[in-house]
């Protein structure tokens, strides 16, 4: 069988998880380091309400940039993110079935779940789980979230994050991610190589540390201003109107600027720890407000997941 091209892989996985009852959300329209940072994960794993979602999320890690020269490493890679809250008892089997949907015949392969616990200090989030290895290739991070935004989770969510370029290169048997067939007519390189080079140049060389720092301070000040105003809100109605997701977006902006400054080599030893703490403080406040708003009335009102 001809292996799937990249866009058909995305479609197959989305179809698979939709069939499992997941809402298929849109990719988030901000720079994030991982699908975990999107509100569909960060916020919705909080609180008691069950939730099933899957989405494709381009994820940026400036320090991983290689100017498009390294065949296996990308500044911006593509994740397929799945959240199941609470996880079904057969979740590992369901996940393995999703690999079959990509044309991976499990009987032909050696699949291992190797211990790999996950932690995101800027989000106050951590979990327990594995990296899933397919014939020695890490293809998925599989995590039972334990905490998010510094809060213990109940119920627990399972997060399944596929690294799509790796899986595609493996399935298509190509030596470089840039050789992946995106569609039948276009390669991954045609779609993304120039972008990798340009983003690498900016993050490693061209970014102005002064400008990045100023932006970071400005976004943070705006977020803190809004957070400061929340405590004056007395009524449930006014709390409901509080632009919590905007505060979270500002926090994500800060996180990305931090990553650029870090890749740029512009962060000193003591500053680094302090910056992480500043971002975590915003994220944990957002989480607390989100959970606090989940009063009995609020639980009934949020956007309902539509059955696929």
Partner 1 sequence: MNGSTVPLLVEVGCEEIPARFLTDAERQFGERLLDALRDGRLLPVVPESRANGKGSTPNSELRTPNPGTTYSTSRRLVAYIPSVLPNQPDLEEQVMGPPAKVGFDAAGKPTRAAESFAAKAGVDVSELLQVETAKGLYLAANKTTPGRTAADVLAAALPDVIESVTFPKSMVWESTGVRFVRPIRWVLALLGEGDRARPIRFDIAGVISGSESRGHRGAGGNALEVHSFADYAQKLRKHFVEFDPESRRQSVRSEVNVVLEAWQEAVPDPDLEEWVVNSTEWVAGLRGGFDPRFLELPREILVTVMRDHQKYFAVEDREGKLQPYFVTLLNRDRDSRGVIRAGHERVLKARFSDAEFFWNADQKVPLSQRYSDGWLERVTYQANLGDEGSYAAKIRRMRLIAEQLSVELEGQGRLDGGQRAHALRAVELCKCDLTTQMVQEFTELQGVVGGLYGRAQGEPPEVANAIYDHYKPVNIEDECPRSVAGAIVSLADKLDAVISGFSVGLEPTGSSDPFGLRRAGNGIVKLYVETVPGLRLSLGDRPGGNMLEFFRERIEFYLQSVGLRYDTARAVLSDQASRGWQVPSDVLARGRALEQVRDTDDFQALAAAAKRTRNILTKSAKAEDFGDNKKVNPDLLKASEELELYSAYQAARSELGSFEAALDYAGALRRLAQLRPYVDRFFDKVMVMDSDLAVRANRLRLLSELDALAFRRFADLSEIESVSGGTEAGNG
Binding site for partner 1 (CB under 8 A): 66, 69-73, 86-87, 89, 92-93, 96, 106-115, 117, 128, 130, 134-137, 144, 146, 154-156, 170, 173, 175, 265, 267-270, 272-273
CA distance to 76, 167, 184, per residue, from 195 (Å): 9, 21, 21
Nearer to partner 1 by C-beta: 107 or 303? Answer: 107
Question: Measured from the CB of residue 29, what is the shortest distance to partner 1 in angstroms?
Answer: 31
Contact 150, 162 (CB under 8 A): no
Contact 131, 114 (CB under 8 A): yes
Of 247, 250, 276, residue with least CA distance to 261: 276
Nearer to partner 1 by C-beta: 156 or 308? Answer: 156
Contact 80, 73 (CB under 8 A): no
Question: Measured from the CB of residue 69, what is the shortest distance to partner 1 in angstroms?
Answer: 7
Spatial distance between the Cα atoms of 33 and 48, rounded to a whole number of angstroms: 26
Question: Measured from the CB of residue 166, what is the shortest distance to partner 1 in angstroms?
Answer: 9
CB-based contacts of 281, cutoff 8 Å, min separation 6:
none
Question: Measured from the CB of residue 211, what is the shortest distance to partner 1 in angstroms?
Answer: 19
Nearer to partner 1 by C-beta: 8 or 92? Answer: 92
Nearer to partner 1 by C-beta: 77 or 293? Answer: 77
CA distance to 105, 122, 183, per residue, from 150 (Å): 40, 10, 41
Question: Measured from the CB of residue 108, what is the shortest distance to partner 1 in angstroms?
Answer: 5
Strand stretches in the chain, DSSP E: 23-24, 51-60, 76-85, 111-115, 118-120, 125-134, 137-148, 151-152, 158-163
Which helix (DSSP H) or strand (DSSP E) does residue 249 occupy? Answer: helix 244-263
Nearer to partner 1 by C-beta: 109 or 246? Answer: 109
Question: Measured from the CB of residue 56, what is the shortest distance to partner 1 in angstroms?
Answer: 23
User: Quick one: how far is CA 172 from the chain centroid?
Assistant: 25
Question: Measured from the CB of residue 185, what is the shortest distance to partner 1 in angstroms?
Answer: 25
Q: Is the peptide bond before 115 cis (omega within 30 degrees of 0)?
A: no
Nearer to partner 1 by C-beta: 216 or 247? Answer: 216
The DSSP secondary-structure symbol of 94 reads H
Question: Measured from the CB of residue 262, what is the shortest distance to partner 1 in angstroms?
Answer: 9
Q: How many beta carbons lie within 10 A of that of residue 149, not counting itself? A: 23
Nearer to partner 1 by C-beta: 108 or 300? Answer: 108
Nearer to partner 1 by C-beta: 16 or 130? Answer: 130
């Amino acid at each position: 069988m001809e292996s799937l091209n990249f866009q058909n892989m995305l479609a197959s996985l989305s179809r698979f998880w939709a069939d499992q009852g997941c809402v298929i959300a849109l990719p988030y329209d901000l720079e994030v380091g991982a699908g975990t940072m999107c509100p569909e994960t960060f916020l919705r794993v909080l609180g008691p309400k069950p939730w099933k979602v899957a989405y494709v999320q381009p994820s940026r890690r400036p320090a991983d940039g290689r100017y498009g020269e390294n065949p296996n490493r990308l500044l911006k890679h593509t994740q397929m993110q799945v959240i199941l809250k609470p996880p079904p008892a057969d979740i590992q089997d369901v996940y393995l079935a999703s690999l079959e949907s990509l044309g991976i015949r499990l009987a032909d392969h050696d699949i291992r779940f190797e211990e790999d616990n996950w932690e995101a200090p800027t989000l106050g989030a951590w979990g327990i789980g594995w990296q899933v290895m397919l014939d020695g290739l890490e293809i998925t991070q599989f995590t039972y979230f334990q905490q998010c935004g510094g809060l213990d989770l109940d119920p627990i969510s399972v997060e399944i994050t596929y690294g799509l370029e790796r899986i595609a290169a493996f399935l298509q048997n190509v030596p470089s991610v840039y050789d992946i067939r995106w569609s039948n007519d276009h390669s991954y390189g045609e779609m993304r190589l120039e972008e990798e080079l340009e983003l690498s140049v900016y993050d490693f060389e061209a970014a102005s540390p002064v400008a990045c720092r100023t932006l970071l301070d400005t976004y943070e000040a705006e977020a803190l201003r809004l957070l400061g105003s929340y405590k004056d809100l007395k009524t449930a109605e006014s709390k409901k109107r509080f632009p919590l997701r905007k505060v979270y977006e500002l926090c994500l902006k800060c996180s990305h600027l931090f990553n650029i400054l870090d890749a740029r080599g512009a962060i000193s030893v003591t500053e680094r720890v302090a910056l992480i703490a500043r971002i975590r403080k915003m994220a944990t406040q957002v989480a607390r407000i989100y959970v606090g708003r989940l009063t009995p009335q609020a639980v009934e009102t949020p956007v309902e997941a539509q059955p696929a």
